[in-house]
A and B are shown apart, each in its own frame.
Chain A
Amino acid sequence: MKARHFPVRKILFFSAIVLLGALLPLAVSSSYWLHVLAMAYFYGLVAATWSFLDGYAGQFSFGNIALVMIAGYTSGLLGEYTGLPLLLRIVAGIAMSGLVGLVIGALCLRFKGAYLSLFTIAFAEAVRLIINTEHRFTRGPCGLRVDGFFDTTSQVPYYYLMFGILVVSIFVMYRMLRSKWGLFFRAIREDEDAASALGVNVVRYKITAFVVTSMFCGVAGVFYAHFNRMLAPNFGQITTMGLIIGMAVIGGVENLVAAAMGGVLLQFGLEGLRDLGAWRLVVFGALLMIVLRFARNGLLAPLYRKLMGEEL
C-alpha cells in the first residue's frame, strides 16, 4: 500500500521559485531588465499552454499565438471603440479566445495528427492576415495602441502583475492535470479508441483541453497587450510560434513546469544575447533540433523528475 505522502520537496521547490520571483525586483533595478523578465513570464505561460495541449492531450497545434492575438485584440479594440472598463474587456478577451478554442476543438475532432497541425498553422496565418489587412479597423501593421494597467512608467507593478499571472495560471493548470482530467488527457494522447472503450468521453475531454488551453492563451494575450501597450500583427507570425514551441520542447513538453521554465529562461537568454541579432535564433533553431534528436524529453524535465522523484 502506498500512502499519499506530503509533497515536501515540491512545496519547497515552488516556494523557492515564488520567493525568488518576488525578490528579484530588489536586485534588478533597471526597468529595461524588469520589462525583459515580465516578457519572459509571458513566454513561459504560452509555452506552458503548448505543453498542456500537446504534451498532455497529444494535440499538436500551431494556434496558440493566434489565440494570444485574438484575446489581445479583442480587449484592445473594445477599448478603442467602446468605453468598456478594462476589467470587462479582459474578461471579454479571454472569453473570445475560449470561444475560438471551442470551435477549433470541435473541428479537430475531424482532423487528426499532422492534419491538425496543418489546419492550425493555416488558422494562425489567417488571423494574422486579417488583422494586417483590415487596417482601417485594427490599425494593421502600424500597430494598435492599448491602454496600460497602471498609471505609471515604472515597470515594477507590471513585473509583479506578469509574475503573478504566470504563477496563478501554472498552479491552476497543474491542478487540472493532477485531477482526473490529466489522466484522461493522457489516455486520449496514448490511444483514443482504447480510452473511449474504457469509458472516457473523448470528444468532451478533447474539446475541454482546447478550451482550457485557449483561455490561458487568452489570459497571456490580454495581459501581454495591456502590459506592452501596443499590439501588431507581426507578433502573430509563425516565427513567434516557433519560439514558443521551441521553448516548450527544450524545457520538456511532457512537463508543464519544465516547459514554463524553458519559456522564461530561454526568452531571458535571447534578450540577454540581443547583440547577436538573428544569429541567436540560428543557435536557438540548432539547439531545438539537437534537443529533439538527442534529448527527446527536453533538458529541464529530466532534472525536474530527478529533483521531485515523479513526473508532475
Chain B
Amino acid sequence: MYGADYLIAQAANGLVVGCLYALMAVGLTLIFSVLKVINFAHGEFYMVGGYTAYYMVTVLGGLHPLLGIFFAMIVLLGLGSLFEVAFLRPIHLGAVNRPAEYAILITFGLSFFLQNLVLSLAGPFPHRSPSFMSGGLTVGPVTISADRLIAAGLALVLMIALMLFIRATWTGKAMRAVSQDRDAAAVSGINPFKMNNIAFGIGASLAGASGALIAPIFAVVPDVGVLPSLRSFVIVVLGGMGSVKGALIGGVAIGLVESLGAALIPDPSRALAYRELYGLVIFVLVLLFRPQGLFGEKQ
C-alpha cells in the first residue's frame, strides 16, 4: 500500500496537470457551444502548439520560452480561423449535406492531415522545449517542478481571462448569444459567422497554448495530441457540453482521478498505461447515466 505522503504528492500533481487538461477542454467546449461542432482536430491543435513553441524557442533563435507560448497561440488563432472560414462555414450556411456527419469528418480529416504534415516536416522523434525555469517548489512531502507550476498558473490565468472576456466584453456576450440561439442573435444584429470564427480561433489557440505549456514537461511527437484530445472529450462530456465552468472543474477532476487512480494498481507500468482508461470509464458512465454532464443543462 501507499502512504499518505505518496497520495498527497499524487493529488498535488493531479491538480497541477488538471489545470492544463482544463485549458484544452475549455477550448473544445467553447467551440462546441458556439459552433455546435465537436472538434476532432483539437489534439492536433495542441500538438501544433507544442511544435510551434519548440521551434520558436530553439530554432528561430533564443526567444524566451514564455514568448514561445504567445507565438503558439497566435499561430493557432490564425490556423483555426482559416480552417473555420474554409471548411466549417458551409455547415452554418446550409451548404453541405448531412452536416453532423460532415462536421465530424472534416475536423477528423484535418487531424489526419496535420498529424502527417508534422510527421513529414519534423520527423517522428520527440522534441522537448527548454524549461521555463529550473528548480521547483517543495511543501512538506510534495515537490513540484517550477515548469509545472508555471504551466498550471498560466493555464489558470488564461482561463480566467477567457471567462472575463465572455462575461464582460461585447464580443463575449455576442458569442454567448449565438451559442444560445443562433437565429435570435442574428436578428439582433450579431453576425453569427463572425462569432463562429472568433470562437473557433480562440478555441484552437487555447489548445495550442496548452500544448506549448506542456512542451517543456513532456516532449512533443506528431501523435502526442491523440490522448489529450480523448481526455478533453471526457472532460467536456463530464462537465457538460458547452459549459466553460464545467470544463474547468471536469479538467481538475480528471487530473485528480488519473493521478490517484494510478495508486490503485500496484504494477507501475500498468498503472501508467491504465491511467488513460479511468477517463474512458468515467466517460461511458457519464454518457450512460447523466448525458447532459455534471453542469450541463438537460436538453
A-to-B contact residues, CB < 8 Å: 54, 58, 60, 107, 110-111, 113-115, 117-119, 121-123, 125-126, 129-130, 132-133, 237-239, 242, 245-246, 249, 277-279, 281-282, 284-286, 288-289, 292-293, 296-297
Point out the residues of chain B lying under 8 angstroms from A239, CB to CB.
Answer: 112, 115, 223
Which positions 80-119 of chain B face chain A at CB distance < 8 Å?
Answer: 86-87, 90, 96-98, 100-106, 108-117, 119
> Is there contact, CB below 8 Å, between B119 and A118?
no
Interface of B is mostly: helix
> Is there contact, CB below 8 Å, between B273 and A129?
yes
In this complex, how many residues of chain B approach chain A with their Cβ under 8 Å: the count is 46
Partner of A122, one of B233, B269, B288: B233
B38: interface (CB < 8 Å): yes
> Is there contact, CB below 8 Å, between A107 and B288?
yes
> Is there contact, CB below 8 Å, between B87 and A293?
yes
> Is there contact, CB below 8 Å, between B90 and A293?
yes
Point out the residues of chain A lying under 8 angstroms from B283, CB to CB.
Answer: 118-119, 122
* In the complex with contacts A278-B119, A282-B120, A286-B113, A119-B287 CB distance below 8 A: yes
Residue in chain B with minimal CB distance to A293: B87
Residue in chain B with minimal CB distance to A118: B233
> Is there contact, CB below 8 Å, between A278 and B120?
yes
* In the complex with contacts A129-B276, A293-B90, A118-B112 CB distance below 8 A: no
Task: Report the bound CA distance from A262 to B298 in whole Å.
Answer: 41
Total CB contacts across the A-B interface at under 8 A: 115
Task: Report the bound CA distance from A288 to B4 in whole Å.
Answer: 52
Partner of A133, one of B102, B119, B274: B274
> Is there contact, CB below 8 Å, between A246 and B273?
no
Task: Report the bound CA distance from A292 to B223 in whole Å.
Answer: 23
Point out the residues of chain A lying under 8 angstroms from B116, CB to CB.
Answer: 278-279, 281-282, 284-285
Point out the residues of chain B lying under 8 angstroms from A249, CB to CB.
Answer: 105
> Is there contact, CB below 8 Å, between B106 and A115?
no
B237: interface (CB < 8 Å): yes
Task: Report the bound CA distance from A297 to B106 in whole Å.
Answer: 14
- Closest CB of chain B to A302's CB: distance in Å? 13
Which positions 261-299 of chain B face chain A at CB distance < 8 Å?
Answer: 269-270, 273-274, 276-277, 280, 283-284, 287-288, 291
B230: interface (CB < 8 Å): yes
A-B contact pairs, 26 of them (CB 8 A): A58-B101, A60-B104, A111-B287, A113-B100, A114-B104, A115-B287, A115-B291, A117-B38, A118-B38, A119-B283, A122-B283, A129-B277, A133-B269, A133-B273, A242-B111, A245-B105, A278-B120, A281-B112, A285-B112, A285-B116, A288-B112, A289-B106, A289-B110, A293-B96, A293-B106, A297-B97
Residue in chain B with minimal CB distance to A291: B109
> Is there contact, CB below 8 Å, between B120 and A279?
yes
Task: Report the bound CA distance from A117 to B233 in whole Å.
Answer: 11
Partner of B274, one of A115, A129, A242: A129
B158: interface (CB < 8 Å): no
